[in-house]
Structure 1
Amino acid sequence: METWRNVRHMTFTTHHALVNNVDIAYWHERSGDAHKVLVCVHGWPESKRIFSRVVEPLRDAGFDVVVPDLRGFGESGVAADGLYDVVSHARDIEALVFDHLGYESVVLVGGDLGGPVIQEMALRNPHRVERMVLFNSPLPMDKERMAGMRTRPPVEVMDYFIRQGTDADALASELNTDEKRAAYISEFYSTRLWAHPGAFSADDIAWHVEPFCDAQKLRASFANYESAFDATKRSEKPLYGRNLVTPTLILFGTSDHVIYPDFDLMAATVFDVHDGPIRIENCGHFVPWEAADEFIFRTVAFCSEN
């Protein structure tokens, strides 16, 4: 099918909404006969651009598609309250889709940071979140149910997490030019082996990196990592935990070296009602970009189930 190959760097009309005193930028592609709404939530180091290959095909398949930039990312503004934790992000998306856009219920899609954000939303709004599509995402730990599984990525790949979470100001000071910021973020699309080798061309990497060349946005993007180490940087304790009710499609790009090696098995213990897990070979962390056609096919089929 390869629906996306002629639109590698497609963008859509960007809308803006003031929610929770933050300017949130988003794409909103409407289908004339939409029966479901897909809300696609990016992670780090990403923006709404990571979904650019799948927006048009999903719209044409009959969905309204909403793709926001999280606070502090992409074309969205930074937060006056300085908070970028999972709950703050979840509240923003709730306000955008339920209050500003007026949708009654939605299907949530996310990976990386977007994964905990949509998990939080589903737990906070069990009657308004119809389904979730989750890929390569942090998960709540359950030692008993996950016994015997490989629940930790290699230690050597976690240096960025610790540095961004505990030494963010110094790191941001070191990355004091556009070129240095671009070089730093580029590693996550190339040499750090998050993506499958060859999934991103040099032009692709430059396009995804571009929003992080802004010093203020890059520093804001580190703040979620800080919230993992410092409770004062969280708006409140997240509900983050096992989900007993929300039907969830689990996708796993198996070339990913930063997520848990047994992500698929672990996710199956977290979401009691699930499809899959579906392992996607020759695909890494950035599933909607790296495996766009399979992502589209699986998402449409899952949302068509009764």
Structure 2
Amino acid sequence: MSPLEPMMPPVQHAQVNGIEMAYYEAGPRVGVPIILCHGFPELAFSWRHQLTALAEAGRWVIAPDQRGYGQSSVPEAVTDYDMEHLTGDLVGLLDHLGAEKAVFCGHDWGGFVVWQMALMHPARTAGVIGLNTPFQGRAPADPIALMRMRYGQDMYIVWFQTLGDADAVLAADVERTMRFFMRTPAALAAAAQPPEGGSSFAFNDLIAQWDPADRSNQLLSDAELAVFVEAFQRNGFTGPINWYRNFTRNWERSEGRPNRIDGVPCMMITAEMDAVLTPDMAKHMPAAVGDLEMHMVAGSGHWTQQEKPDAVNALILDWMDRRFPQ
């Protein structure tokens, strides 16, 4: 039996945008589909609780392993992970499903992608739900240069820019890496704080210093963790990290794109205890998104759909019933 069973629907595969995309589909094929987009270092499996609950409520719901992840293709070129490719994959998935539009719900990196769907492919975007990740307009300068200036050279996104470095560190002991990341809010909040004289979010040093024997702050069961470990042992981390290596390219290629979203119903869900994507980062959004509803999940850290699935499911279903009734 696959470690995904019985936690996920059967995997399906589609040829989209030059890659093979694995996806999991549940619920009746009626109404507007909801496409759930995961972040780093995650999988479609991160949405297991939403696939079940939304389907039981009669919603058509799909969660893909995005390029570089899980059972989907892992292209070699760094530029194959830019925003044009990531959003193009979702358009291709819509075409494969025979759907004109979808509501795109994204967490972490998936959140960046779904907000860009509203700008780059508005004709295919019925609505957007941002989970933890706020909509951000175009930065005034290269985002990597800004992060390096603000957080230092050891900040994880800056560290990720060096080809092969972080890839090898994270892949050296995948179970340790996944246990480090998939922890409770208090543990991740402590990891976000800079050591004496060090850099914020310096995950290279923090992973090395962390004692994996400490299981007190683990978020996942052993069976759930095994799904993530198996996937990243098989594929490594280079594809996922390549998403980060396109920050500068995405910024350069976004020149002239609108800095606000209009004409698309949107909902932003923040997490009270997320130390990476804090609720304060979304405060500007009412001025940047014309049709916006905002909510906060109390007591949740970064992995909101896994930490507080009932709260997330209730917010999504209530919003869908009001904005996209069936």
TM-score where L is the length of structure 2: 0.77
Q: For the structure 1 residues 158 and 59, does the alpha-carbon distance in structure 2 shift closer, same or farther, using more than 3 Å as the test?
A: farther
Letter in 2 for 1:210: E
Residue 39 (structure 1) aligned with residue 35 (structure 2): yes
CA shift digits 1:246-297 (9 cap, x unpaired): 111111111111114503313333322111x211111112222111111111
Q: For the structure 1 residues 53 and 8, does the alpha-carbon distance in structure 2 shift closer, same or farther, using more than 3 Å as the test?
A: farther
Partner Cα distance (1:124, 1:160) in 2: 28
Partner in structure 1 of residue 310 of structure 2: 293
Q: 2:12 aligns with which of 3, 10, 15?
A: 15
Partner in structure 1 of residue 179 of structure 2: 186
Q: Which moved more, 1:217-226 or 1:261-270?
A: 261-270
Partner in structure 2 of residue 211 of structure 1: 231
Q: 1:253 aligns with which of 255, 268, 271?
A: 271
Residue 25 (structure 1) aligned with residue 22 (structure 2): yes
Kindly state the Cα deviation for residue 188 of structure 1 after the two structures are TM-superposed: 1.6
Indicate conservation of the 8 Å contact 1:22/1:80, yes or no. no
Kindly state the Cα deviation for residue 199 of structure 1 after the two structures are TM-superposed: 6.9
Letter in 2 for 1:35: G
Q: 2:60 aligns with which of 61, 64, 78?
A: 64
Q: 1:109 aligns with which of 99, 105, 111?
A: 105
Q: For the structure 1 residues 282 and 9, does the alpha-carbon distance in structure 2 shift closer, same or farther, using more than 3 Å as the test?
A: farther
Kindly state the Cα deviation for residue 110 of structure 1 after the two structures are TM-superposed: 0.6
Instruction: Give the SS at the match of 1:78.
Output: coil
Residue 270 (structure 1) aligned with residue 288 (structure 2): yes
Partner Cα distance (2:41, 2:278) in 1: 18
Partner in structure 2 of residue 149 of structure 1: none
Indicate conservation of the 8 Å contact 2:271/2:278, yes or no. no
Q: For the structure 1 residues 240 and 55, does the alpha-carbon distance in structure 2 shift closer, same or farther, using more than 3 Å as the test?
A: farther
Instruction: Give the SS at the match of 1:192.
Output: helix
Q: For the structure 1 residues 284 and 175, does the alpha-carbon distance in structure 2 shift closer, same or farther, using more than 3 Å as the test?
A: closer
Indicate conservation of the 8 Å contact 2:271/2:279, yes or no. no
CA shift digits 1:119-161 (9 cap, x unpaired): 11122232332211111115324799xxxxxxxxx94897221
Q: For the structure 1 residues 242 and 72, does the alpha-carbon distance in structure 2 shift closer, same or farther, using more than 3 Å as the test?
A: same
Partner in structure 2 of residue 227 of structure 1: 246
- Greater per-residue helix proportion: 2
Q: Which moved more, 1:261-270 or 1:43-52?
A: 261-270
Indicate conservation of the 8 Å contact 2:34/2:102, yes or no. yes
Kindly state the Cα deviation for residue 219 of structure 1 after the two structures are TM-superposed: 1.0
Paired residue total: 282
Indicate conservation of the 8 Å contact 2:170/2:237, yes or no. no
Q: Percent identity?
A: 23
CA RMSD of aligned residues (A): 3.1
Indicate conservation of the 8 Å contact 2:262/2:291, yes or no. yes
CA shift digits 1:59-95 (9 cap, x unpaired): 1212111111110101111125541122211100111
Instruction: Give the SS at the match of 2:284.
Output: helix
Partner in structure 1 of residue 259 of structure 2: 241
Residue 121 (structure 1) aligned with residue 117 (structure 2): yes
Partner in structure 2 of residue 49 of structure 1: 45
Give the unaligned 5+ runs of structure 1. Answer: 1-6, 145-153
Partner in structure 2 of residue 91 of structure 1: 88
Partner Cα distance (2:190, 2:106) in 1: 16
Instruction: Give the SS at the match of 1:89.
Output: helix
Kindly state the Cα deviation for residue 183 of structure 1 after the two structures are TM-superposed: 1.6
Letter in 2 for 1:223: N
